[in-house]
Structure 1
Amino acid sequence: MHFIRFLKVPTTTSKPSSNIITVSTLITISTDLSEAFYDGNATLRATLRADTQSRQLLASKTVTWTPGLRNIPIQFTFAASKDTASDGIVCISATENRADDMRTLFAGPSESRILSAWSTPFNILQNGSKAEAFVERKLQLSAGKMVRIWEETREDIARHIWPGGLAMTSYLSTLPTPPTGQLSSLTPLLSNPSLNVLELGAGCGLAGIVLHTLLPSTKIIARGGDIIGA
Structure 2
Amino acid sequence: MHYIRFCRPPEVHSGRSQSSVKIVLTITTDLSDSFLSPRSPVQLAVIGAYTEHNDGRSQLIPVFLTQNNPPAWRAGMRVLKLDLPLPPRPIETIQIRPLSRQLTALSTEDVLPGNQGLIMAVYADMPRQGDGRAPSVCFRSLRLSAGDVAAGQTLQIEEDLGESIARHIWDSGIVMVSLLADICLDSTDASHGKPLPLFRGILLSDSRSLNVLELGCGVGVMGIGLARILSLRRAKHTPHILMTDLPEAEEKARANIARQGESLAGGSANLNFEPLDWHDGEKGVLGEKAASRAWDLVVLCDCTYNTDTLPPLVKTLSALHSHSARRSADGRCHVRTEVLVATKPRHSSEMIFFDLMSDDGWTVREQTALSLPLLDGEGQTVEVYMFGKEG
Q: In structure 2, what is the Cα distance between the partners aligned to 1:57 and 1:159?
A: 28
Q: In structure 2, what is the Cα distance between the partners aligned to 1:3 and 1:132?
A: 19
Question: Could you tell me which residue of structure 2 aligns to residue 47 of structure 1?
Answer: 47
- Give the secondary structure class of the aligned counterpart of 1:119: strand
Q: 1:152 aligns with which of 138, 160, 165?
A: 160
Question: Could you tell me which residue of structure 2 aligns to residue 105 of structure 1?
Answer: 111
1:35 is aligned with what amino acid?
Answer: D
Question: Could you tell me which residue of structure 1 aligns to residue 249 of structure 2?
Answer: 227
Q: Alpha-carbon deviation of 1:101?
A: 1.3
Q: Give the structure-2-normalised TM-score.
A: 0.52
Q: 1:70 aligns with which of 64, 69, 78?
A: 78
Query: Against the structure 1 CA distance between its residues 79 and 108, is the aligned structure 2 distance closer, same or farther, given a 3 Å change threshold?
Result: closer
Q: Alpha-carbon deviation of 1:49?
A: 2.2
Q: Alpha-carbon deviation of 1:131?
A: 4.1
Q: Alpha-carbon deviation of 1:51?
A: 4.6
Aligned runs of 1:155-170 on 2, under 5 Å?
A: 155-170=163-178
What CA RMSD, in Å, does the superposition of the two structures yield over aligned residues? Answer: 2.3
How many residue pairs match? The answer is 221
Structure 1 window deviating more from structure 2 (70-79 vs 32-41): it is: 70-79
Q: Alpha-carbon deviation of 1:136?
A: 1.3
2:109 is aligned with what amino acid?
Answer: R
| 4+ runs deviating over 6 angstroms | none
Structure 1 window deviating more from structure 2 (44-53 vs 135-144): it is: 44-53
Greater C-alpha radius of gyration: 2
**Is the 2:49–2:94 Cα contact (8 Å) retained in structure 1?**
yes
Aligned runs of 1:25-64 on 2, under 5 Å?
A: 25-40=23-38, 41-52=41-52, 53-58=58-63, 60-61=65-66, 62-64=70-72
Q: In structure 2, what is the Cα distance between the partners aligned to 1:176 and 1:150?
A: 24
**Is the 2:105–2:119 Cα contact (8 Å) retained in structure 1?**
yes
Identity fraction in percent: 26
Question: Could you tell me which residue of structure 1 aligns to residue 21 of structure 2?
Answer: 23
CA deviation map 1:153-199 (0-9, x unaligned): 14433321110001101101132437854322201110134111111
Q: In structure 2, what is the Cα distance between the partners aligned to 1:106 and 1:11?
A: 35
Question: Could you tell me which residue of structure 1 aligns to residue 202 of structure 2?
Answer: 189
CA deviation map 1:98-144 (0-9, x unaligned): 1121112143445x210001112431x44x85641211111011222
**Is the 2:5–2:162 Cα contact (8 Å) retained in structure 1?**
no
Query: Against the structure 1 CA distance between its residues 155 and 66, is the aligned structure 2 distance closer, same or farther, given a 3 Å change threshold?
Result: closer
Question: Could you tell me which residue of structure 1 aligns to residue 136 of structure 2?
Answer: 133
Give the strand-richer structure, 1 or 2: 1
Question: Could you tell me which residue of structure 2 aligns to residue 92 of structure 1?
Answer: 96
Q: Give the structure-1-normalised TM-score.
A: 0.85
Q: In structure 1, what is the Cα distance between the partners aligned to 2:245 and 2:37?
A: 31
Q: 1:215 aligns with which of 230, 238, 247?
A: 230
- Give the secondary structure class of the aligned counterpart of 2:71: strand
Question: Could you tell me which residue of structure 2 aligns to residue 9 of structure 1?
Answer: 9
Q: In structure 2, what is the Cα distance between the partners aligned to 1:131 and 1:56?
A: 23
Highest RCO, 1 vs 2 (Cα 8 Å, sep ≥ 6): 1
**Is the 1:19–1:79 Cα contact (8 Å) retained in structure 2?**
no
